[in-house]
Amino acid sequence: MPRDASDLLHGTLDVLVLKTLSWGAMHGYAIAEWIERRGEGELVIVDAALYKALHRLEESGAIISQWGLSDNNRRAKYYSLTTRGRARLRSESETWKRYALAVGRIIEST
């Protein structure tokens, strides 16, 4: 039975959040929406998982947060990358690319 794409997301959510924030500060809903849109609907972000990842990334110093107003004038916490977060994004992106290539080679082997 094929696995749901969201099962594979668990180990990659941090790097996806970091990549998303490389485009600028966003609140949680906007982060999830950006990932889902770029993933063409194949990656659905569960709120609890997203906020755990945001908390984890903030604790590690990869992102910072501040309160602001969303487009619909509601109070929202906005997250942005730190210098440490940009370095982590570069490192984890390279690791992910190597991993994806290796998995692809295995899956495509005959």
Of the listed ranges 10-14, 18-22, 37-41, the least confidently predicted one is: 10-14
Query: What is the structure's pLDDT at 13?
Result: 93
Per-residue pLDDT, 1 = 41
CA dihedral of 8, 39, 69, 82, whole degrees rounded to 10: 60
Q: What is the Cα–Cα distance from 13 to 18, expressed in whole angstroms?
A: 9
The domain spans of the chain are: 5-108
CA dihedral angle for residue 6, residue 79, residue 83, residue 12, rounded to 10 degrees: 0
* 92-104 per-position pLDDT tens digit: 999 999 999 999 9
- Residues of the chain with pLDDT > 70, as a percent, come to 90
7 vs 84, residue with greater confidence? 84
Interstrand relation of 26-27 and 75-81 (parallel, antiparallel or unpaired): antiparallel
Instruction: Give pLDDT, residue 9.
Output: 57
Q: Is the pLDDT of residue 7 over 70?
A: no
Under CATH, which number does the domain 5-108 receive? 1.10.10.10
